[in-house]
Structure 1
Amino acid sequence: MSNPAGRFTFVVAPADGPLRLDIVVLEQLRRQGREVSRSVLHQWFREGRVCIDGAPAKAATRSRCGATVEVDPAPPPASEAEPDPDLVIEIVYKDEHLLVIDKPAGLVVHPGRGHPGKTLVNGLLALDCFDPSVIDDDANPEAVLRPGIVHRLDKDTSGLLVVARTRQAREGLKELFASHRIDREYEAIVVGRAVNATYDTFHGRDPSHRLKFTTRNPVAPRRAITHVTLEQELAQGLASLVRCRLETGRTHQIRVHLFERGNTPVLGDALYGKGALQPWLRQVEQSLGRHWLHAGILGFEHPISGKAMRFTSPLPEELVMCLEALRQGG
């Protein structure tokens, strides 16, 4: 397969034969390490940049086993990732190859639709953190928008994030994530009585809601695995404190698994939760101002030195106050 930054071709495998072509192309891009949104890919289809057996194809076309698909990605948009010295970034570890950041809730990781600036990337650019190789990278056109970013935390999730400073570290970290050799543990408070469980599901976009992901999409191409451990029942069972350990890192994975499989949405999750029904718990939820989810542990083997690295992040004050209120109330 050719360079994912430019035109590439592939032959549809037997397992992909019945699927929509846009699903198949998205999976091919993921395997190359270049993920794009469905909306970007659909724009490529509209521009005639995706062909099957030499003819322009539509996104909804059913792929055929043995068919040759050619994809000519559009050039990336001009970067809007400008340095922003006004953003305060908490760096908990720094060496010549990587950074570990303790991200606050409310901060988006990189520029994108609806968030052209005031992101973590904008703040890091102002600190002159990156080697030029991780920004001006012909093999990764999206590097200008998300230099060094190898994983993300949702806007309202706080906690630990590793960022590459060099191309070599970025590729090494990507390999660690792809092979599931990153330790990531989160704490969450959920609405309802949680149980110890492992959720092993397919994961993909919700076809009925463009902002959501779901385990219930029958053609979802990815697998998601979350291990949930009950730490404490709160407020006489109205809520639970849980620890979630990730094997995979899909978008919204913990939130989707706790909501759809555990029937215990994250407290304060405006996208997946329906809001607490009990008046006192609803008041606690509304006063929180975010969802109660924190990435507290991050461990990995340094991609250059091979040294074992492990970091912990304390709970932010607003999460501590909410937890104490639930421990005392009910």
Structure 2
Amino acid sequence: MNENQHQVINEEAGSRIDKLMADLQENLSRSQVQAWIKDGHLTVNGKGIKSNYKVQEGDYIAWEVPEPEEIELVAEDIPLEIVYEDEDVVVVNKPKGMVVHPSPGHPSGTLVNALLHHCTDLSGINGEVRPGIVHRIDKDTSGLLMVAKNDMAHQSLAEQLQAKSIDRKYLALVHGEIHHEVGTIEAPIGRDLKDRQKMGVVDNGRDAVTHFRVLELFDGFTLVECQLETGRTHQIRVHMHYIKHPIVGDPKYGQRKTYDIEGQALHARTLGFLHPRTGEWLEFVAEPPKVFEDTLTYLRQRS
């Protein structure tokens, strides 16, 4: 088992331990934290606590990540918003809060579980636990994902990703006002040197390039369209934090005082690629979820 530690800071004091841990750890649910507490894998100041314990400033949280369990893939009847489907590909508008593929912290309820119920033919290139998955978006990021239904399609889409020819544009609401129309963030991303649970801009990281365009200015906030040239873990979230315009609602890289919109205000709005079989250019657009739209409406009225 791997042991991890975290010392509670002032802004975190008063939070329930299970909620705080779920906010600190990507792809970790409150129910999983509660199970760790019950099984003795998580302690505060060296002692066992209950799931409703409210942390205090200076508390030392220590937890051990149990060895990975065998994950049994089960088809689950979970509603999916299918934007496009044919014999080779499926384009899905993933809702905020849904994990893409099963993991020890999320053995079920994922996009893969839903896809297995929707269609029996998915590519096997990415292994048993990630059938059809060519690329991912974070649990609390909504929007468009392409899924391969066979290995031919998977290989073609993966090659397009590698060649940076796939068009991926995201809507992001960020803190602060950006007073220039366009910009490019070119900064390498790797594991954060101070917090291994996070990514960050580091000298020995992998190349990462994000282009952005300002769509709308508000009082204290900016709506931007981000276009990915590379696809590093948490890339847009890390890059916007790096230029001191963190994404609204981001529990990992954002400001402590922000709008509570059930995760970060980040939505994969546009997805374009060449069809693996026909070579035809396909492009899809999905508008952001209601909580995102409602926040924009409020900011427009306030401004």
The structural deviation recorded for 1:210 is: 2.5
Contact 2:91–2:145 (CA under 8 A) maintained in structure 1: yes
2:258 paired with 1:266: no
Q: Hey, what's the Cα distance between the residues in 2 that align with 1:203 and 1:113?
A: 25
Residues 1:218 and 2:203 are matched in the alignment = yes
Q: Give the match's secondary structure for 2:225.
A: strand
8 A contact 2:246–2:253 mirrored in 1:
yes
On the 8 A contact 1:130/1:147 being kept in 2, the answer is no
> Are the equivalent residues in 1 in contact too, given 2:71–2:103 (CA < 8 A)?
no
1:67-216 equivalence runs, <5 A? 78-85=70-77, 87-131=78-122, 134-135=123-124, 140=125, 142-194=126-178, 195=180, 196-215=182-201
Could you report, residue by residue, the CA deviation over 1:96-148 in whole angstroms, capped at 9, with x for unpaired residues?
011000011000000124111110000001123424xx23xxxx5x5210001
The offset of 1:95, in angstroms, is 0.5
User: 2:186, 2:208 within 8 Å by CA — same for their partners in 1?
Assistant: yes
Kindly indicate whether the alpha-carbon contact (under 8 Å) linking 2:71 and 2:104 is maintained by their aligned counterparts in 1.
no
CA distance in 2: counterparts of 1:79 and 1:178, whole angstroms? 29
Higher-helix-fraction structure: 1
Residue equivalent to 1:251: 233
CA–CA separation in structure 1 for the residues paired with 2:136 and 2:89: 15
Q: C-alpha separation between the residues in 1 aligned to 2:196 and 2:103? A: 15
CA distance in 2, matches of 1:174, 1:187: 23
* SS of structure 2 residue aligned to 1:143: coil
Equivalent residues, number? 234
Return the alpha-carbon distance in structure 1 between the equivalents of residues 196 and 86 of structure 2. Answer: 38
Identity %: 41
Alignment match, 2:263: 290
| 1:207-235, Cα deviation, whole Å (9 max, x unpaired) | 322221111x2222x1111001111111x
Unaligned runs of 5+ in 1: 1-75, 277-281
Deviation of 1:310 (Å): 0.3
**Structure of greater Rg:** 1
Is there any run of 5+ residues in structure 2 with no aligned partner, and where?
Answer: 1-67
**Match for 2:199: what amino acid?**
F
CA drift at 1:179: 0.5
Are 1:314 and 2:292 matched, yes or no? no
> Shift of residue 177 of structure 1?
0.3
Q: Secondary structure at the match of 1:144?
A: coil
One-letter code of the match for 2:221? A
Amino acid at match of 1:225: V
Decide whether aligned partners of structure 1 residues 100 and 159 sit closer, same or farther in structure 2, where only a CA change above 3 A counts: same
Report if aligned partners of 2:140, 2:262 keep a CA contact under 8 Å in 1: no
Q: Matched residues in 1 for 2:236 and 2:110: separation?
A: 22
> Residues of 2 paired with 1:144 and 1:77: CA distance?
14
Q: Partner of 2:275 in structure 1?
A: 302
Q: Is the 8 A contact 2:272 2:283 kept in 1?
A: yes
Residue 172 of structure 1 aligns with an amino acid whose one-letter code is S
* TM-score w.r.t. length of structure 1: 0.68
Q: Which amino acid aligns with 1:314?
A: E
Q: 1:268 to 1:119 in 2, by over 3 A?
A: same
TM-score of the two chains, using structure 2 as the length reference: 0.74
Measure the CA separation in 1 of the matches of 2:161 and 2:121.
Answer: 20
Give the secondary structure class of the aligned counterpart of 2:188.
Answer: strand
Name the CA distance, whole Å, in 2 between partners of 1:92 and 1:308.
15
Deviations 1:53-110 (A, max 9, x none): xxxxxxxxxxxxxxxxxxxxxxx9744221111x111111000011000011000000
Q: CA deviation at 1:294?
A: 0.7
